[in-house]
Structure 1
Amino acid sequence: MNTKTHISTAERFGCWLGRGWRGYVRQERQLLGWLVAQGVPGGVASALLWIAKLALLGVLLYAAFWLALLIVVAGVVVWMQQDNVAEEPDFLGRKAEERDHRESLFYHPMCFNDDPDPRFEDD
């Protein structure tokens, strides 16, 4: 016998999904009844609902395809760039380990805690 008196998170999530599905089915029946009340034959109203569902499914699959393709292309680009970064020298032909930040274009000794640089001696 189970002595646990509270429901688990999975059971609570399942109940939430079940309530959502029942609400959807209820709304669909109401829409079907409204269409029939407007003079649309029952078979045609049902077919219209199925066409709407299939169109929505097609739009979702179309969007998912392009999103997946975009993610794959981005992953390939990142993968290709990672291979090139380690081997690519800078504009002076040096590897990343050999670079000195003092020779960068925007270097100023006030921004770094370095040994004195002879290019920036006080007068």
Structure 2
Amino acid sequence: MNTTTRTSTAERLGRAFGRGWRAYARRERRASNWLVSKGMPRAGATALVWVAKLAVLGVLLYVAFWFALVMLGVAAAGWAAAANTSDEDEWPFTDLTELRKTPGYDPNLYNDTSHELYTDD
């Protein structure tokens, strides 16, 4: 019997996400401290970090907006293409009288038994 507990996939993903978040916060703090060491006021460094975050968020929202717009266009094009299909056969003539008016009509090819030129072989 095995007494060791196994970590679930959700726990492993959570730990990986936490490590990534801590690394991001550490780099952000390091960048802010570097700006302060170069003579920028602490409030200015904090504001600059927030401006960078908001700029990245703005770019992500901009890309997401255009991606959603393209996907809506693709969906609308698919809907329009599906709406243009008919349930009827792709036969170009509506009835037998129009078919008989076409040049070169042969009643044997269409099994038109009511036509006077139809021959039963």
- Taking structure 2 as the reference length, the TM-score comes to 0.69
Distance 1:87 1:11 in 2: 53
Pairwise CA distance, 1:85: 2.6
- The answer to which structure has the higher helix fraction is 1
Higher relative contact order, chain-length normalized (CA < 8 Å, sep 6+): 2
State the partner residue of 2:96. none
State the partner residue of 1:104. none
Runs (5+) with no aligned partner, structure 2: 94-121
State the partner residue of 1:76. 76
Pairwise CA distance, 1:83: 1.6
Pairwise CA distance, 1:93: 2.0
2:92 corresponds to 1:93 = yes
Return structure 1 stretches of 4+ with deviation > 4 angstroms: 87-90
Spell out the pairing of 1:1-123 with structure 2 (5 A cutoff): 5-86=5-86, 93=92
Distance 2:37 2:10 in 1: 40
Distance 1:88 1:59 in 2: 48
Find the residue that maps to 1:86 and give its secondary structure. coil
Distance 1:77 1:13 in 2: 38
* Percent of pairs with identical residues: 48
Runs (5+) with no aligned partner, structure 1: 95-123
Find the residue that maps to 2:85 and give its secondary structure. helix
Pairwise CA distance, 1:47: 0.2
Distance 2:79 2:30 in 1: 52
- Taking structure 1 as the reference length, the TM-score comes to 0.68
